[in-house]
Amino acid sequence: MTDLQRRNLLKTGAAIVGATSFRPLWAAQDPDVVVLGAGLAGLNAARLLEQFGLQVRVLEASDRIGGRLLTLDDVPGRPEAGGSQIGAAYARVVDTARQLGLQLETSARSPLLKDESMVYFINGKRLTRDAWTRSADNPFPEALRGMPPDRALARLAGSSPLKNIAAWADPINFQFDVPVSGELKARGLSATVVHLLEVNNGYGETLADTSLLNLYYVQTNIGEVMKIKGPVQNVVGGNQRLPQAMAKALKGEVRMKSRVTAVNVGAKGVMVQCADGSQHKARFVVCALPLPTMRNIHFLPGLPDRHAEAVQQLAYGQVTQFHLEVLKPFWEAEGLSPYLWSDGPIERIFPQDEKGNGKAESLTVWINGAGTAGWDALTDADAQDRLMNELTRVYPSSRGAVRLARRVAWQQSALAGGTWANWRPGQISRYAQVLGVPHGRLHFAGEHTGRAIRGMEAAMESGERAATEILGLL
């Protein structure tokens, strides 16, 4: 179904629902649709299905609504540990927030986050941006010398040849589904450049592990998001308020602490089994779970081979964060910003300055990909010691000036299994076409099945697609 057909269906359906009322489609006590997962994708599917008069039940394993939207309300500066930036082009996210009476505000841009004040710590040496730009150790071409190396990656891999944002999943572009490392080598970039590009790469553990096509998708996504002028926004009070409001607005139940363990797809309906022994029957099911969590679910009949393989194999991003409460703004004594780019173990630091007045209440240490393993193996106490030692190497006056408030390692979360789909080379060609294909009465949603704008908007788009698939069958 095309986007236009989907939109028409939504319009026509709304008119029909206004004129008549739907009869229950299964049995009086059973919902028409069971939705697995109370993240944006599942909740958007549930919301739309209810708008068309269907009875919906949402099953959520956690005791928290929102999945990969996680606002750390108890950490000063209220950082987002999950999805943070809402672009003006996020039509579904913005519209749903408005419909639910939530306010969006321009994300406070701390003066501490200015690129020109970024501190570089490379090869064990601390440098200002100007000093890094002029440094003999800086291996980048002239135009990119003042840029954090991870941002230079997209520029050095070449401009995206994708004609539009959905073209990343078009077989015509599968020729680009190859390792970025090969492309960089072919472009004659030195090993030092490649090493620096690899640190803080958010799209694969290594560059050999990063698909050039996925990088083009990321580039095209940025272009698409920029087409609609407007500031980057967040939900007032935290992004997690959005899925919470979506869940609250549902008529049907959102059953918490209900971890799905089995899905039995029959000719006339679907039976879902939870770890607490409960069983849930419905005519249709929307599975809006991240793939790593689907690995623990028994599907009967089994998913088609390629889909089952994708569930097992698709790579998810790794991000470990340490949220540090600022007891003393140690960087001021050194005349620096806490905003850091480093090729050492702490990788990056983002000041959390909720009001945008330059007074960071907390700092987020953000470690990507392969760098996470060394941290995730440590106990909290050992991680804190290592963190303090590494931080004082960069900022000697930081000792005793921060406190570890929260640690989040997305790859260790049993209910997420990682940050987002990080297609490895060859995986877009092999799996992008199958992930959203229904398995009988079982429909699929989730960020990894989105086709256009990435992240939160992809999750919303996927929920809408799954809901319209079901509505199209009634």
Ligand X SMILES: Cc1cc2nc3c(=O)[nH]c(=O)nc-3n(C[C@H](O)[C@H](O)[C@H](O)COP(=O)(O)OP(=O)(O)OC[C@H]3O[C@@H](n4cnc5c(N)ncnc54)[C@H](O)[C@@H]3O)c2cc1C
Binding site for ligand X (CB under 6 A): 36-42, 59-62, 67-69, 82-85, 259-260, 288-290, 293, 319, 410, 415-416, 419-420, 446-447, 455-456, 459
Distance CA 458, CA 31 (A): 26
> CA 155: distance to chain centroid?
22
Q: How far is the CB of 218 from ligand X (least distance, A)?
A: 12
- Are the beta carbons of 338 and 349 closer than 8 angstroms? yes
Least distance from ligand X to the Cβ atom of residue 186, Å: 31
- Closer to ligand X by CB, 452 or 456: give it: 456
Minimal distance, residue 296 CB to ligand X, in Å = 6
Distance CA 351, CA 238 (A): 16
CA gap 454, 452 in Å, rounded: 6
CA distances from 255 to 152, 258, 273, 275, 287 (A): 45, 6, 13, 13, 15
CA-atom Rg of the chain in angstroms: 23
Tell me how far, at minimum, the Cβ of 446 lies from ligand X, in Å: 4
**Which two structure tokens, joined as six digits, stand for 109?**
């841009």
Under 8 Å between Cβ of 175 and 389: no
Nearer to ligand X among residue 53 and residue 83 (C-beta): 83
Smallest gap from residue 12 Cβ to ligand X (A): 27
* Chain centroid to CA 434: 20
Tokens of 466: 């799954």
Q: Report the chain's terminal Cα–Cα distance, integer Å.
A: 15
The dihedral through the CA atoms of 208, 149, 351, 391 has a sign that is: positive
Kindly state the smallest distance separating residue 167's Cβ from ligand X, in Å: 20
Minimum distance of ligand X from residue 130's CB (angstroms): 29
150, 142 Cβ separation under 8 angstroms: no
Nearer to ligand X, 41 or 387 (CB): 41
Smallest gap from Cβ 45 to ligand X, in A, equals 9
Query: What is the total residue count of the chain?
Result: 474
Nearer to ligand X, 183 or 224 (CB): 224
| Residues in Cβ contact with 348 at an 8 Å cutoff, skipping those fewer than 6 apart | 200, 340, 341, 342, 365, 366, 367, 368
User: In the structure, how many helices (H) and strands (E) does the chain have?
Assistant: 16, 18
Which of 42, 148 has the CB closer to ligand X? Answer: 42
Q: Cβ neighbours of residue 23 under 8 Å, at least 6 residues apart?
A: none
Nearer to ligand X, 36 or 104 (CB): 36
CB of 191 to ligand X, least distance (A): 29
Q: Under a CB-based contact definition with an 8 Å cutoff, are residues 104 and 96 in contact? A: no
Beta carbon nearer to ligand X, 86 or 326? 86
Report the residue number, 181 or 239, with the smaller CB distance to ligand X: 239
Nearer CB in complex with ligand X: 298/355:
298
